[in-house]
Structure 1
């Protein structure tokens, strides 16, 4: 930090990336300031306590990783439980286990052996007569056949992206994992769980001793904030950072409706996907099941996909040809920056799982401080 600068690092955004970078830089004796335009820290992993239940305000967040270093890292701040994600799909009142596994195949076709399930899928794939897939509709049929696609993929995906499957690019579904065992564990990762007491405990521990200013928009007084430091860690929208000079990047957004029910157990599972197109939400989340709660009431959140506008929160990047080209132009500018580091899903226009965000932040710290990286980025 030069003598006339107040902070070593200005971190724009208090999501996981910003929290981890600020924590690690502070550990190394650097003075950090975090600013965030929201009213709270933690970005999309923020929880709010309702009826004694930690409600995931921005959708279900289940931590999972195969990287023991990352797992040990987050558990050094808060103990994680062993919640296992086992969502259920509801298609017109019929229930199916996810991910696609022998339980699902039995529910669909009453097949009892892997060989029977494989043969059923193979016959449906062949009957679909798809050559080289040109859209998501054809891609899915070529991978799993008619029944799985029609009941468990088509409607859900069309709601998620707001387009008919025939108008969506094939690359959105590169593969569809199928398990030929009776295993409802959604993730293959060795380590998974949810923080005991909610994700706020993780971010609050990361931010201990670090100055944070909320409801503060970096772009409302950019010159003021830039003058406070020589080094910026930017986790916001990269196109906004560069004044949209190459155009706006596009996203899908989400809307959440939270409801309290006067019953200890409303749906019997943390996550239920609604896969028919006619139901407007993609899933409902009963938060108490993440921490095995026994509170007398429960909170359920319905998750509605929406078209994104600049006034809404950006969730999922639309990585089609147009947006990829625009991002590459912004990314080229970012690579030339000497004093600004870009990180997180908005600044890199990439969907990240939580363990990937943390790994990328730790990697950036190692590079910045010329240390050996300690965690994989997988």
Structure 2
């Protein structure tokens, strides 16, 4: 029997950050993951000199200098600025919605003209109490921006018409009345030179790591998960642990006893092309409903690549089904109520910590994942 202070289920960013900090404090750590690689959804794989974001684009951005400095100890970040482009039919627009967008859409030049155009459209709609996402978006940005840049894309993302989605999904739509295509307002932004996988590799130095290992197989089934403090790895090694850090689905951990939580998933079609530059930008969104994918990522542009070939990934949003990777929690009233039951039960656990987007049923940007993991360490060890 091998004994560990911590068993960490999931070798993604939350689990790796927690592991790194636990190891610094002299704790023994075993990290397992269902997948055959570390780094979770930020996993990057080098191919033909290009670091491919296997599970979609990940751009690190934060306004927290402590988090920025923390990440920079594991890799050097470049000066990549996220400036996506939107394609609607034969038209091309800059994102986020800014003066470049409005100038292209209406042929205007000044912020005053743009504000007047949007205000005129909103007034004509006369929506006082938005009843759904469509009405909410129209009441914020008017008809043109909604029809060309929001409606089709949102329907693809959520798999249902905008007038069937709740209004609260879009609480605000940022409109910038400057000629600034920088998608994020955060002070710090970039891509690690050499990809994200190297960061997690460094974080996990000193930990025992076992891949292609399912936690529930290890403990003999979902029904045994909540009480387990020992289990058996696929190779027959018996292990025990003092505390469990679980970054998988919290409803799965509890055998879906309060009901299954809902997620959206993403499917990727990745291909190598025999050209040096396919679309001229790392991220291009396709906002029309009749284009089946939501966006195309050209990976080399994240690191200003000059390779003779290129690699692109088309992203297709889909409903989540068991056996498929869950990506985005569907945080509507129904699911949030179910999650609260799991969260209340989790509060009574003295030897289990739930973390990350699946363990806490919340969409996190990467900087927030690191911040929450560091806080968990502080709460549990100091």
Q: Which runs of 5+ in 2 are unaligned?
A: 231-239
**Who is 1:279 aligned against?**
291
Equivalent residues in 2 for 1:291-310, closer than 5 Å: 291-310=303-322
**Who is 1:160 aligned against?**
157
CA distance in 1 between partners of 2:171 and 2:294 (Å): 21
CA distance in 1 between partners of 2:209 and 2:180 (Å): 44
**Who is 2:256 aligned against?**
244
The answer to whether the aligner puts 1:268 opposite 2:277 as a matched pair is no
The answer to whether the aligner puts 1:49 opposite 2:46 as a matched pair is yes
Specify which of 329, 352, 355 is matched with residue 343 of structure 1: 355
Specify which of 116, 119, 122 is matched with residue 122 of structure 1: 119
**Who is 2:206 aligned against?**
209
Of stretches 203-212 and 26-35 in structure 1, the one that deviates more from structure 2 is 203-212
Q: Which runs of 5+ in 1 are unaligned?
A: 371-378
So what's the TM-score if we normalise by structure 1?
A: 0.96
The answer to whether the aligner puts 1:180 opposite 2:164 as a matched pair is no
Residue 6 of structure 1: SS of its match in structure 2?
Answer: strand
Q: Is the Cα contact below 8 Å between 1:96 and 1:107 reproduced in 2?
A: yes
Q: How many residues align?
A: 367
Q: CA deviation at 1:117?
A: 0.4
Q: Is the Cα contact below 8 Å between 1:83 and 1:290 reproduced in 2?
A: yes
Q: Is the Cα contact below 8 Å between 1:251 and 1:314 reproduced in 2?
A: yes
Specify which of 225, 229, 253 is matched with residue 226 of structure 1: 229
Q: What RMSD over aligned residues (CA atoms) do the two structures have, in Å?
A: 1.0
**Who is 1:375 aligned against?**
none
CA distance in 2 between partners of 1:171 and 1:318 (Å): 12
Runs of 4+ deviating beyond 3 Å: none
Q: CA deviation at 1:5?
A: 6.7
Q: Is the Cα contact below 8 Å between 1:5 and 1:230 reproduced in 2?
A: no
Of stretches 314-323 and 345-354 in structure 1, the one that deviates more from structure 2 is 314-323
Q: CA deviation at 1:220?
A: 1.1
Q: Deviations over 1:313-366 (max 9, x none)?
A: 000111112111110000000111100001000010000000000000001111
Residue 4 of structure 2: SS of its match in structure 1?
Answer: coil
CA distance in 2 between partners of 1:271 and 1:58 (Å): 14
So what's the TM-score if we normalise by structure 2?
A: 0.95
Residue 285 of structure 2: SS of its match in structure 1?
Answer: strand
CA distance in 2 between partners of 1:32 and 1:308 (Å): 31
Equivalent residues in 2 for 1:295-334, closer than 5 Å: 295-334=307-346
Residue 187 of structure 1: SS of its match in structure 2?
Answer: coil
CA distance in 1 between partners of 2:206 and 2:350 (Å): 27
Specify which of 129, 132, 135 is matched with residue 135 of structure 1: 132
CA distance in 1 between partners of 2:81 and 2:104 (Å): 21
CA distance in 2 between partners of 1:200 and 1:319 (Å): 29
Specify which of 108, 126, 137 is matched with residue 111 of structure 1: 108
